[in-house]
Chains A and B, each alone.
Chain A
C-alpha cells in the first residue's frame, strides 16, 4: 500500500509535530478538484470526510483481485476475502481500544448501530415505566430510535439540558438519573456545535445509577484517539465515512457479555448456526448480528483508512485541528454581524455561526459560488436549533487536511455575502 503521508511521532513531544499539510492534501484526489471554477475549500467534514487515495485503492484492489463472498466458500479466493474482512474487524477493534474483535459488529454506520441497540438490547432491556436519557445535543439518529423504543415498550425519554454555550448541564443530569434509568445515550462530540462532552463522567454517573451507556462516536472517531475501556461505556458506535473510509460501513462496539445476551437484530444468512422450520439456533457473536452479505469492500477499505490515520497520528491531527479551530474562531469573530453558536470551553474543530440579517441558506449559496463548501441547515439537530432559537446555522467543520488558507477563503467569501446583502 502506498501512502505519501509522512510518518508522525505518536507520543506527545515538547514541540507540536510539524505538519506537512501540502503532502497530506496530495493524498486526497477530491481536494484537487475545483468547485464553480474555484479551488475547493471543503469545510463540511462533520457531514462526511474526503477519502485518501489509499482508501480508494483498497476498494479497487478488493474488486480487482479479492472479490468473493465470505464465510461460505471453500475455495481460496473466498478464504482470502474472509481473512481480509476479519482482519479489518481486528483493526477496527484496535482503533477504538477494544481488546476482543468479536465485540465489533460491522453495520452501515452510526445510525444503524444505534437502531441495532434500540431494537435488540432495547426490547429485552426496557420495560414499561423505564427511563432512557439522551442529551440536548443529540443528532436525530440518537433521538428517534430511542423514541421508537419508548413507544414500543411504554418507556419514557428524558433529556439532559444544555446551557447557551452548548455545554451539557451535568447537575441537571444527576437529577434525571434514578432507579428507573436503564440507558444513557449521548454523543461524544456534537456535530452541530462541536462541544466535546465529558462522556467518562457521564458514563460513571450512569453506571452508579445502574444504567447502561451508549456513546455516539460518529464525530469523535475522526478527531480523538478512542479507547472504549477508558471511556467506560457499554456501547460505542461510529460511521466509517466520517473517518476517511467509505460510505455504507461503520461499527457497533459492545462488551461480549452484553452482545451474547442480546437477541439478534436481523435474521438471515450467516447469523445462524442451524435452521429447520421447527427451530433455528443462532451463530455466536459477531456473526449473530451480521445477517446477510456485509459490505466486505467497505470494511476492508475502512481498515485502510485506519492505517492512514494511524500513520499521521492523533497527536499531529489534534495539533493541526486545534490550530485551525483557534485561527478560525479568531478570524470569524472579527467578521461584523457574525454570531458564533456553540462556545463550549471544550470544543472540537466545528464552528456554527449566523450572520445578522442573512438566512444561513443564502450564506451557503454565496459561499458555494466562491468554492467554499459548508453545511447550512439544522444539521439533523432540530432540538439544538430550537434551544438556540435559530431556524438553522452555517457550519464550517474541519479535518486535518484543511489549512488556514481555507479559512481565509471562508472569511473572504463572507465578505461577498455582505456585498450582496448590503
Chain B
C-alpha cells in the first residue's frame, strides 16, 4: 500500500480529477495526437509557440489517472518556458522515471522538477511509465510538427 500512496500522490489525484488546461486551442500553431495502445488512452495536445516561448498550451482526451495528471501538470509546468527549456525538463523527467532501478533519482533531481517530482513513484511501476510520459511524447511530436500520432509503443 505504501508504494501505491507513492504512486497516487495527492497532487496527482487532484490533477487527474480536476485537470488544468484541459481545453482545445484550435488556433494553436502546433498540435499532435498521442495514443497509448496498452490502456487505450488518447490525447490531443495544442501548443502555441511565439518567438521560441510556449505562450499557451492545452489538451483534450481521456485517460487513466496517471496520464491525465501528467498531461495537466506538464501544461502547467511548461507555460512560459522556452522550447529548449521544455526539452531539458522532459529529459530530466524521463530520467527520473526510467533511470536504472538501483540509482534512485537524487534529491536535487526530484527537487529541480518541482511539482513534477510527484511522479517519482511511477518508477516502481514500470508498466505505468508509458502513462506518465504519453503527454511528453505528444509534446515532442507537436513541436516537431510530426503528422503521425505519437505512440508510447
In B63-84, the 8 Å CB interface with A consists of 63-66
In B117-153, the 8 Å CB interface with A consists of 125, 127-128, 131
Interface residue total, chain B, C-beta cutoff 8 A: 20
Most buried by A among B3, B8, B63, B64: B64
Chain A residues in 8 Å Cβ range of B128? 361, 365
The CA of A194 and the CA of B131, in the complex, are separated in Å by: 28
Q: Is the CB of B1 within 8 A of A369?
A: yes
- Residue on B with the closest CB to A390? B40
Q: Is the CB of B40 within 8 A of A421?
A: no
If A359-B63, A365-B125 touch, whether A376 touches B1 (CB-CB below 8 Å) is no
If A378-B40, A420-B4, A420-B8 touch, whether A361 touches B13 (CB-CB below 8 Å) is no
Contact of A361 among B4, B8, B131 (CB under 8 A): B131
Chain A residues in 8 Å Cβ range of B1? 369, 416
Shortest A410–chain B CB gap in Å is 16
Q: Is the CB of A362 within 8 A of B65?
A: yes
Q: Is A366 an interface residue (CB 8 A)?
A: yes
Question: Interface code B1-45, partner A: CB below 8 Å = 1, 0 otherwise?
Answer: 101110110000100000000000000000000000011110000
Q: Is B88 an interface residue (CB 8 A)?
A: no
Most buried by B among A362, A378, A391, A416: A362
- Residue on A with the closest CB to B3? A369
Chain A residues in 8 Å Cβ range of B41? 361, 391
Shortest B6–chain A CB gap in Å is 11
Q: Is the CB of A377 within 8 A of B65?
A: no
Q: Is A107 an interface residue (CB 8 A)?
A: no
Chain A residues in 8 Å Cβ range of B4? 365-366, 369, 416, 420
Q: Is A360 an interface residue (CB 8 A)?
A: yes
Interface residue total, chain A, C-beta cutoff 8 A: 20
Q: Is the CB of A377 within 8 A of B7?
A: no
Q: Is the CB of A385 within 8 A of B40?
A: yes
The CA of A392 and the CA of B7, in the complex, are separated in Å by: 21
Q: Is the CB of B40 within 8 A of A362?
A: no
Q: Is A57 an interface residue (CB 8 A)?
A: no
Shortest A39–chain B CB gap in Å is 16
- Residue on B with the closest CB to A391? B40
If A369-B3, A369-B4, A421-B13 touch, whether A362 touches B38 (CB-CB below 8 Å) is no
Chain B residues in 8 Å Cβ range of A360? 39, 64
In A320-370, the 8 Å CB interface with B consists of 358-362, 365-366, 369
Chain B residues in 8 Å Cβ range of A365? 4, 7, 125, 127-128
The CA of A391 and the CA of B40, in the complex, are separated in Å by: 6
- Residue on B with the closest CB to A357? B17
The CA of A422 and the CA of B5, in the complex, are separated in Å by: 13
Shortest A341–chain B CB gap in Å is 14
Shortest A113–chain B CB gap in Å is 25
- Residue on A with the closest CB to B13? A421
The CA of A104 and the CA of B3, in the complex, are separated in Å by: 49
Q: B residues engaging A (CB < 8 A)? A: 1, 3-5, 7-8, 13, 38-41, 62-66, 125, 127-128, 131
Q: A residues engaging B (CB < 8 A)? A: 36, 358-362, 365-366, 369, 376-378, 382, 385, 391-392, 416, 420-422
Complex A-B: 8 CB contacts under 8 Å: A358-B65, A359-B39, A359-B63, A359-B64, A359-B65, A365-B127, A366-B4, A369-B3
Apart from A360-B64, A392-B40, A416-B4: 20 A-B pairs, beta carbons within 8 A: A36-B3, A359-B65, A361-B64, A362-B8, A362-B64, A365-B128, A366-B4, A369-B1, A369-B4, A376-B39, A378-B40, A385-B40, A391-B39, A391-B40, A391-B41, A391-B62, A420-B8, A420-B13, A421-B8, A421-B13
